[in-house]
Amino acid sequence: MSTSAVKRQSVTPRFGRIDADLSQVEAAIERSREQIFSEQHPDGYWCGELEADSMLEADYIFLHVLLEGGEPGKMRRAFTEMLRHQNEDGSWSIYPGGPGNISLTVKCYSASKIMGMGAENPVLVKAREWILSHGGVVACNTFTKIYLCALGQYDYDAVPAIPPEIVLFPNWFYFNIYEISSWSRSILVPLSIIYAKKPFKKLPAEQGIDELFVGGREYSNLRLRMDRKNLLSWRNFFLMVDRAFHVLEAVHIRPLRKLALKRAEKWMLDRLEMSDGLGAIYPAMLNAIVALRCLGYSDDDPQVIRARDEFEKLGIDCPNGSADYAEPTFRMQPCMSPVWDTAYAVFALGEAGIPADDPRMVKAADWILSKEVRHTGDWAVKVKNTQPGGWYFEFNNEFYPDTDDTAQVLLALNKVANPRERLQYDVSQRAIEWLFAMQCKSGGWASFDKDNIKMIFQYIPFADHNAMLDPPTVDITGRILEMLANYGYNRSDKRVERAIQFIFREQEPDGSWFGRWGVNYIYGTFLVLRGLQAIGVDQNEPQVQQGAEWIRMVQNSDGGWGESLNSYDDPNTRGVGTSTPSQTAWAILGLLAAGDNRSDSVAKGIRWLLERQKTDGAWDESLGEGKNRQAIYTGTGFPRVFYLAYHMYRNYFPLLALTTYQRAMQDAA
């Protein structure tokens, strides 16, 4: 990568080692601050693009074909965007450079045929060969199969049942819907309506995908098979229950179906209020639109219009092409991240020396304050007698505040001297009390719910999207510890000590920590070390030094750090990957939090960031050039299932790392 943006820094000897000249660090910080401020919206917030895989474009095409709507030009541009991400072997991957994914590849193949591509087109020939060699359509997950059922390409009787009767289970019942993750809940409730109503649109023969069934559709065993090696297993138990549901469905013995549909409809409509669509996330929003139409809502019904409008807002339309890709494209985001990006931008800028009373900072804080949650949501089912508080991720998502955003917002607000001091104080205290109420029995924090840990749900047949639970994680817990320290808490508080012990128990044998919401062990380790440092854990504690040693051990030869998403599939590859600005910044922040401001590892990492900063103050986090250019994903939606590229990570994390390094070196001088 070119280093012309920043001259190779001058150096000064320090204790027998070579350090970056702090004047170069200061210049880089200044460029970065200005670049981040240049992206601030006039209303005060930041919102970078959130990028994900081609499933979004394929499902966009599916939705509009099923409901016979949508703008043909956008669909064509979405098709173009989808095609440019096909791998050389014919498959599509859930992250750039990753292995092919069967469900995604089948969706893209089906979307291609719907958009008029012939089966003998080289694009589809390669895709078909890959699909058949990986088990064909029957190897797809449940969500994919149900979408195919709606287009007549799979059999409803062969997919795992998602009966709407699940919403009738009382909250005290072991299998109630509040025992699964909030995102699965918002996806599955409308999907259960779709399953019950079984929409069907017959595609022309030339758009069908019968050729993707190994041995032919009529000869394929479409149903999930029992595990014959472990007959007495939870998987087999749930498969038997699933078969029973299908039998009752076939003979129309559904005494509670009408009540269940009414309850599911009400649940869904309630959560469409004060939200950017159901759950404010792409799959739930798409399912809600289809579910509304299945329930008889017309295209011009206000609920359908609003749901579709919110869904279309996720699109980024480039009818005239873009700087990287000349052809017109249209791509979808899985959701929007304004609260998250604003909180991190404000925090990084505050750490970088922007005055607390700077009007731009105050405006951002006021925008954040306007997004405080003041209504009870799904979290309140398990957390009784607690006042609503906290923040969500998107522009509006009142039913689903999360602990991670809330902690980062509180860190950001602590950097702003707001003229409305009393209001900001009251809001912050409410949020802290809400966070303490959300602490899990283990001492850690999950994202949206408390003690969402019933592992048995992973064996339910429709749980093959690998995201049924929301257990406590060390990355969120580390961030919350850092925040609590900023608000005066320490280890004398029993709740804080429980969180520390949770983190210690979760440390890996090699010293690292798993990253649930960022990629991966580098992310988890940096947040843990920052949290432990802030809350007062001695930097000489073995857990801290083992974590720091692991970070130093996985540094790349170029001086940076990177970790591929492959580490979620193969933990032996943890810390291995192409160096990126965000992950290099995380590693530096982790080392500094562990008291390491003198090692060559830190110095090389700082030089890596300085040499790769562009003239406009930003960093690049992508692979390839021109039409082959793709962002490197360093964000995690659901491990092994769905990953993200946060386009602002590449900028505010390096700023935070450079600033933290500058302060550490000045303090040590």
Span 289-329, pLDDT tens digits: 999 999 999 999 999 999 999 999 999 999 988 777 788 99
Q: Catalytic amino acids?
A: 404
Closest CA to 630 of 638, 641, 622: 622
d(CA 336, CA 401): 14
Please provide residue 18's backbone torsions phi and psi, each rounded to the nearest 5 degrees. -100, 120
End-to-end CA distance of the chain: 33
Dmax over Cα atoms in the chain, in whole Å? 82
Report residue 544 CA to chain centroid gap.
27
Q: For residue 398, is pLDDT > 50?
A: yes
State the DSSP string of 170-238: -TTSTT-GGGS-HHHHHHHHHHHHHHHH----PPPGGG--GGGSTT-GGG---SPPP-SS-SSSHHHHH
Cβ 46 vs Cβ 652: under 8 Å: no
661-669: list long-range contacts, CB under 8 Å, 24+ apart. 661/25, 661/588, 661/592, 661/597, 661/602, 661/606, 662/22, 662/25, 662/26, 662/29, 664/592, 664/597, 665/19, 665/22, 665/597, 666/22, 668/597, 668/598
Q: What is the mean pLDDT of residues 163-189?
A: 94
Strand, helix or coil at 279?
helix
Q: Which is more confident, 32 or 459?
A: 32
Question: Tens digits of per-residue pLDDT, 269-291?
Answer: 999 999 999 999 999 999 999 99
Report residue 667 CA to chain centroid gap.
36
- 447: exposed, middle or buried (Cβ count in 10 Å: 0-12, 13-18, 19+): buried
Strand, helix or coil at 373?
coil
- To which residue do tokens 């702090």 refer? 22
Q: How confident is the model at residue 625 (pLDDT cuts 50, 70, 90)?
A: confident
CA 520-524-525 angle, 5° bins: 115
d(CA 194, CA 181): 20
d(CA 650, CA 634): 9
pLDDT of 233: 83
Question: Tens digits of per-residue pLDDT, 552-578?
Answer: 999 999 999 999 999 999 999 999 999
Strand, helix or coil at 313?
coil
Q: Where are the alpha helices (DSSP H) in 487-578?
A: 494-506, 521-535, 542-553
Q: What is the mean pLDDT of residues 172-180?
A: 92
Tokens at 257, concatenated? 């179906």
Q: What is the mean pLDDT of residues 496-519?
A: 98
Closest CA to 644 of 652, 632, 654: 632
Q: What is the mean pLDDT of residues 483-507?
A: 98
Cβ 523 vs Cβ 586: under 8 Å: yes
d(CA 465, CA 473): 19
- To which residue do tokens 């790392």 refer? 657
Q: Which is more confident, 225 or 149?
A: 149
pLDDT of 236: 86
Q: Which is more confident, 242 or 500?
A: 500
Q: For residue 9, is pLDDT > 60?
A: no
d(CA 360, CA 354): 10
pLDDT of 15: 39
Q: For residue 22, is pLDDT > 70?
A: yes
pLDDT of 324: 73
pLDDT of 18: 57
Question: Tens digits of per-residue pLDDT, 420-440?
Answer: 999 999 999 999 999 999 999
Cβ 658 vs Cβ 487: under 8 Å: no
pLDDT of 246: 86
pTM: 0.94
Question: Tens digits of per-residue pLDDT, 400-427?
Answer: 999 999 999 999 999 999 999 999 999 9
Tokens at 509, concatenated? 């044998």
pLDDT of 405: 98
Q: For residue 228, is pLDDT > 80?
A: no
Domains of the chain: residue spans and CATH:
1-38+507-669 (1.50.10.20), 44-52+333-452 (1.50.10.20), 53-332 (1.50.10.20)
d(CA 108, CA 100): 12
Q: At what angle do helices 282-294 and 55-66 cross, to 10 degrees?
A: 10
CA distances from 547 to 21, 386, 498, 558 (A): 27, 36, 20, 21
In the predicted model, what is the mean pLDDT of the chain? 93
Q: For residue 12, is pLDDT > 60?
A: no
CA 627-585-631 angle, 5° bins: 15
